Amino acid sequence: MNDYPEINITTTSVKVTAEIHPLRTIRDVRYRGFTGKIKTMWNWIRHHSNDYTFNEYLEKPVKYTLTAVPAKDISAYHHIDAEAELIKMLQEEEE
């Protein structure tokens, strides 16, 4: 149909880079924009108003953790069938 040659590209590795912005306090994370301010105030009123003043609450340190994506979610996020890809790689190595 067309005169263009077929090109097969296989990736062996992927480089991921990220810019890290340190999040030190609740003010850095949640207190952005009008809706962020309303949500932050509502959270303080509901959960922390007896323990901290609002300014103390905004200056509390933030705790966050990175979680790995479970193997079953790989196909959901990236449309990859991990088992089929592994079988394909093993077959290519045998050849």
The pTM is what?
0.42
Q: Contact, 23 vs 64, CB < 8 A?
A: yes
Whether residue 59 is found in the same domain as residue 72: no
- For residue 69, pLDDT over 80 is answered with no
Whether residue 54 is found in the same domain as residue 26: yes
Whether residue 48 is found in the same domain as residue 78: no
What tens digit of pLDDT does each residue of 18-51 get?
A: 666 666 788 877 778 888 888 888 888 988 888 8
Whether residue 94 is found in the same domain as residue 76: yes
Amino acid letter for position 59: E
Of the segments 38-42, 61-65, 70-74, which one has the largest average pLDDT value?
Answer: 38-42
Q: Is the dihedral of CA 78, 83, 86, 91 positive or negative?
A: negative
- 8 to 2, 5, 11, 89: CA distances (angstroms): 16, 10, 10, 14
- 52 to 19, 46, 56, 63, 95: CA distances (angstroms): 32, 12, 6, 17, 66
Query: pLDDT value at position 76?
Result: 61
- Within-domain flag for 45: yes
Whether residue 59 is found in the same domain as residue 71: no
Whether residue 41 is found in the same domain as residue 29: yes
Total domain count, the chain? 2
- For residue 52, pLDDT over 60 is answered with yes
Structural domain range at position 58: 22-64
